[in-house]
Amino acid sequence: MKDLQYDAVVIGGGAAGMAAALELEGAGFSTALIEREDHLGGILMQCIHNGFGLHEFKEELTGPEFAERFMEKALKSKISIYLNTTVTDVNALPTGKEIFCVSPDYGVLRISSRALVLAMGCRERNRGNVRIPGSRPAGVYTAGLAQRLVNIEGYIPGREIVIIGSGDIGLIMARRMSWVGCRVKAVVEIMPYPSGLTRNIVQCLHDFNIPLYLSSQTTAIFGNDRVEGVEISPMENGALVPEKRFRIDCDTVLLSVGLVPENELSKEAGVQLSSTTGGPLVDAALMTNVEGIFACGNVLHVHDLVDWVAEEARAAGRHAAEWLRGSRMGSQFRIKPGANVRYVNPGKLNPHGENKIYLRSLIVKNDAVLELRLDNQIIKSIKHSHVQPSEMINVRFGPKDLENIRYSTESVLEFSIN
């Protein structure tokens, strides 16, 4: 076993991990970046479509191009990068953090650090999570796996496709499969509204005349050796209408039914998780309940844009660097979701500094108003022409918003949408 020591360790080599590590290294701290794949960039490397970087770089990039902007900086920096290295255990000790890793290149590593940044990203839900009846034929894939097969491996998983769920990866794969000559026969969504970004609905479905069935549930997958079709049952007022069910013949089913933050290591380290997001509960510094462990990106909450992932990760790296210097954030007060808001992140606000708060709506609404109430007093209202659950809302909040406002450490800032 090799013993190594760094000021900070970042787990995950995607956009979040690289952005956080660059902040730490730039602040003068020795930093290790650990990635289980044999390359940096994470899931971005298989996202060959454009639409990335409009906020971060003020230009439209593909996923690999976005990742390469960070990779170039990381590879030129003093960051110690461990690729093809899997973290097996994380222990939070009184003396610091202890991370155990295994790698065919480096063997078994025990890395000690003062600070730890969690940036492991997320994974896809699969058929077991959504419990679709039927046998287990070949031809059922998650949309992300299909994306890897087509874009990286060069395989086409099927010819006649039905996509279950209207998440962004599924929508993008509807377009991608159409481009390679497949026929996408339908996208089926259980909710009465799409789960993906509006631009992806337009560019990936409408532009290719692909039907989208809303308020519809996939109630069966047919086939023994290979998928032969699916049964779709419409829903009215939240209940299935069996007499309106119909069959779509297909040879392949792609699942785009949501993402889950990868937090097995977080739990092992004693980090408390949110029952709503599945990610760690963090304060205004993006620090978890375990002193010196920070979280950012999709491991914290699933983002809609990688631009926000990078922005949040830089903040986590900056806060981790300040913590390493001995600086401690002063008094904070709690933030909570109110009417029509699913969650807010982080869970606390620093009244003495600038805060970036991310939230998701529970409703689809035009001409919506986001209200911020401090101890039941409206202190800020923000108009939005349109809100929907698939599109994250972000708000900047700083000391100027609290001028002439009385508050205490017991105060609560509530976000509501009307």
Look at residues 329, 345, 374 and tell me which one is the last residue of a structural domain.
329
My answer on whether 138 and 47 are in the same domain is no
> 128 pLDDT band (50/70/90 cuts)?
low
Length of the chain: 418
What's the pLDDT at 410?
92
Percentage of residues in the chain with pLDDT exceeding 90? 92
112 and 150 fall within a common domain: no
Would strands 160-164 and 252-255 be described as parallel, antiparallel, or unpaired? parallel
Residues 274 and 342 in one domain: no
Check whether 127 has a pLDDT greater than 70: no
**What is the Rg, in whole angstroms, of the alpha carbon atoms belonging to the chain?**
22
- Strands 96-103 and 31-34 turn out to be unpaired
User: Mean of the pLDDT values across residues 355-370?
Assistant: 96
| 129 pLDDT tier (thresholds 50, 70, 90) | low
Number of domains in the chain: 3
List, in order, residues 6 or more apart from 268 with CB less than 8 Å away. 89, 90
- Residue 56, helix vs strand vs coil: coil
- 326-352 b/e (C-beta count within 10 Å ≥ 16 → b): eeebeebbebebbebbebbbbbbbbbe
Kindly tell me if the per-residue pLDDT of 25 is higher than 80.
yes
Q: Which of the listed residues 234, 257, 280 is the one where a domain comes to its end?
A: 257
Q: How far apart are CA 344 and CA 365, in angstroms?
A: 18
Same domain, 293 and 207: no
d(C-alpha 417, C-alpha 370), whole Å:
5
Q: In the structure, what pLDDT confidence band is assigned to residue 135 with cuts at 50, 70 and 90?
A: confident
End-to-end CA distance of the chain: 57
Q: Residues 195, 147: one domain?
A: yes
User: Given 209, 231, 257, which residue is the final one in a domain?
Assistant: 257
DSSP 96-152: EEEEEEEETTTEEEEEEEEEEEE---EEE--HHHHT--B---BTEEEHHHHHHIIII
Nearest to 208 by CA among 248, 239, 163: 163
Given this model, what pLDDT does residue 330 score?
86
Q: Please check whether residues 236 and 291 belong to one and the same domain.
A: no
CB 212 within 8 A of CB 189: yes
70: left (phi over 0), alpha (psi -120 to 50) or beta: alpha
pLDDT tens digits for 29-60?
A: 999 999 999 999 999 999 999 999 999 999 99
Which pLDDT score is estimated for 334?
A: 95
To 10 degrees, the CA torsion angle through 282, 288, 294, 295? -50
- pTM beyond 0.85: the answer is yes
Give the highest mean pLDDT range of 94-98, 194-198, 318-322, 401-405: 318-322
CB atoms within 10 A of CB 314: 18
Q: Following DSSP, what letter does each residue of 266-302 receive, concatenated?
A: HHHTT--B-TTTSSBP--TTSB-SSTTEEE-GGGTS-
**Closest alpha carbon to 298 in 341, 270, 258, 334:** 258
Same domain, 14 and 66: yes
Query: What is the predicted pLDDT for the residue at 166?
Result: 94
Coil, strand, or helix at residue 412? strand
Cis peptide before 346 (omega within 30 of 0): yes
Considering the domain architecture, whether residues 223 and 273 belong to the same structural domain is answered as: no
> Do 350 and 294 lie in a common domain?
no
Q: Is residue 40 located within the same domain as residue 69?
A: yes
User: Is residue 205 domain-shared with residue 290, that is, in the same domain?
Assistant: no
190 pLDDT more than 80 = yes
Domain limits for position 385: 335-417
Confidence of residue 136 (pLDDT cuts 50, 70, 90): confident
The rounded distance, in Å, linking the Cα atoms of 127 and 140 is: 8
C-alpha–C-alpha distance, residues 26 and 187, integer Å:
45
Q: Is 133 found in the same domain as 118? A: no
